[in-house]
Amino acid sequence: MNEARVTMIRERLSAAFAPTELEIQDDSAKHAGHAGARSGGGHFTVRIVSTEFSGKSLVQRHRMVYDALGDAMQQEIHALSIQAKTPDEA
């Protein structure tokens, strides 16, 4: 597990969304040998609960998460599975 990447993801998402729940799972080991793994990017699953997602579609929520992660989506993160919910949905 790459703690530095998990910490970076946690910090960026926490700053952008002030989540009530945030779980980050590093799935990179499951993808050893995959093209994205060879280039150095990790595979992660994120479950985030925030009021910031209220009134937003699933696509809008995912875009918000991608925007919050910024340049990390180009180098540090190869694949990201996102579950973005409001507190009422969680």
Query: pLDDT by residue (tens digit) across 53-65?
Result: 999 999 999 999 9
The pair of three-digit structure tokens given for residue 55, joined into one six-digit string: 């009134």
Q: Which residues of 52-79 are buried (b: 16+ CB within 10 A; e: fewer)?
A: bbeeeeeeebeebbeebbeebbeebbbb
pTM: 0.87
pLDDT along the chain (90 residues), means of 10: 89 98 90 56 92 98 97 88 97
Q: Are 84 and 62 in contact (CB under 8 A)?
A: yes
Give the CATH class of 3-85: alpha beta
Residue 19 is predicted with a pLDDT of 98
